[in-house]
């Protein structure tokens, strides 16, 4: 496999609160490759958004802080400095689509001017050149009457059109990596499909990598090449989309699949919820974070953090079920 565009190693993020210190991200590692889509999945509060926001330098400091880790982009650690040759990589090398477009756009500026701002800052366009390019980007994002729409304000756009405007802004500088933080949240099914098709088309045309944050496994199956499953601030499983769906190696991944609706008449149509709640990240458990909810839990899971086991080429899981001693006992 070619060298990754972005390589994140041992990322740890904490937040100080009145109740104590929240260990939100705990030792996360992953790579992002050109032209590929990496999906980061897990239930709410598992650390997906905080992981990418910390890489982008978007967590508030204080109360947040990065306590360890590196994020290497073309040989440059962007956790230490988000500027390369005096130029901020945010919006230039890495674009981001935020989760809620309703609150991510400035209500006092028209849409075209907000997109143009990126081009003025990063590409040195004049205002006229940038606005014209903004119109072209809105058209590329499948917004009808782009010239007219560019002069309108966010309140005049529907939710789906706002999301398209956010995509136009994120791809304005043709970034190497596009981070999409739950880009289809609160959109109806038809608009969701259109947004996902648009992202696929843009990736095909520009060759950019996509980091897709979601808890919708249907979106993952449709979009992803590689999948990273997070739980309690840690990566518990990582592999190709086929390996994660057809040969999951962690009980949490199995539980996520069982809780996903299906229209397969040969399977039980009842949803199987995951009992219990995620652990308190003020005081993370000493062993596996999923132990209290896991139907396969053993004593070692409670006391000792699991190792990372290689299940196949590029497929890993952090679970004691794959220890050779456990495998030998089963045979």
pLDDT in tens, the chain (331 residues): 578 889 999 999 999 999 899 999 999 999 999 889 999 998 888 889 899 989 888 888 889 899 999 999 878 888 887 776 656 778 788 888 887 777 888 899 999 999 999 899 888 889 999 999 999 989 888 888 999 999 999 999 988 888 888 888 888 888 889 998 888 776 777 777 888 888 888 888 888 899 999 888 888 888 889 999 999 999 999 999 999 999 998 999 998 888 777 766 666 667 788 888 889 899 889 999 999 999 888 889 999 999 999 988 889 999 999 887 665 545 4
Q: Which residues pair with 240 in a beta bridge?
A: 226
| Distance (Å, whole) CA 110 – CA 114 | 7
CA distances from 252 to 10, 163, 227, 232, 297 (A): 22, 31, 14, 11, 11
CA dist list (Å): 10 to 25, 69, 180, 290: 9, 5, 22, 20
Neighbouring residues of 223: CB distance < 8 A, sequence distance ≥ 6:
37, 39, 196, 199, 200, 210, 212
Contact 73, 93 (CB under 8 A): yes
Rounded Cα distance, 165 and 97, in Å: 10
Alpha carbon distance 71, 79 (integer Å): 6
CB 241 within 8 A of CB 221: yes
Q: What is the architecture, at CATH level 2, of domain 6-93+175-330?
A: 3-Layer(aba) Sandwich (3.40)
Q: Where in the chain is the domain with CATH 3.40.50.300?
A: 6-93+175-330
- Give exposure, 86-101, as e/b (b: 16+ Cβ within 10 Å): eebbbbbbbbbbbbeb
Which pTM was predicted? 0.88
């Amino acid at each position: 496999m070619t060298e990754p565009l972005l390589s994140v190693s041992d990322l740890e993020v904490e937040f100080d609160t009145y109740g104590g210190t929240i260990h939100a991200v705990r030792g996360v590692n992953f790579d992002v490759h050109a032209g590929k889509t990496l999906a980061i999945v897990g239930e709410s509060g598992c650390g997906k958004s905080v992981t990418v926001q910390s890489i982008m330098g978007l967590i508030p400091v204080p109360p947040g802080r990065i306590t360890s880790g590196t994020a290497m982009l073309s040989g440059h650690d962007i956790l230490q400095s988000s500027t390369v040759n005096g130029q901020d990589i945010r919006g230039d090398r890495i674009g981001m689509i935020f989760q809620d477009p309703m609150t991510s756009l400035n209500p006092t500026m028209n849409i075209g001017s907000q997109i143009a701002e990126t081009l003025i800052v990063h590409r040195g366009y004049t205002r006229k050149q940038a606005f014209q390019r903004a119109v072209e980007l809105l058209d590329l994002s499948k917004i009808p009457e782009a010239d007219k729409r560019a002069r309108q304000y966010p309140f005049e756009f529907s939710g789906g059109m706002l999301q398209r405007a956010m995509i136009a802004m994120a791809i304005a500088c043709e970034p190497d990596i596009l981070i999409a933080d739950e880009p289809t949240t609160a959109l109806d099914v038809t608009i969701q499909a259109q947004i996902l098709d648009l992202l696929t088309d843009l990736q095909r045309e520009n060759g950019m990598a996509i980091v897709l944050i979601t808890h919708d496994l249907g979106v993952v199956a449709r979009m992803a090449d590689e999948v990273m499953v997070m739980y309690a601030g840690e990566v518990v499983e990582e592999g190709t989309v086929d390996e994660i769906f057809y040969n999951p190696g962690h009980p949490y991944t199995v539980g996520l699949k069982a809780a996903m609706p299906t229209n397969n008449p040969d399977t039980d149509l009842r949803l199987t919820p995951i009992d219990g709640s995620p652990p308190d990240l003020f005081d993370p458990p000493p062993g596996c974070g999923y132990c209290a909810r896991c139907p396969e839990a053993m004593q070692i899971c409670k006391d000792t953090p699991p190792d990372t086991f290689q299940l196949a080429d590029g497929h890993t899981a952090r679970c004691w079920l794959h220890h050779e001693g456990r495998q030998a006992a089963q045979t």
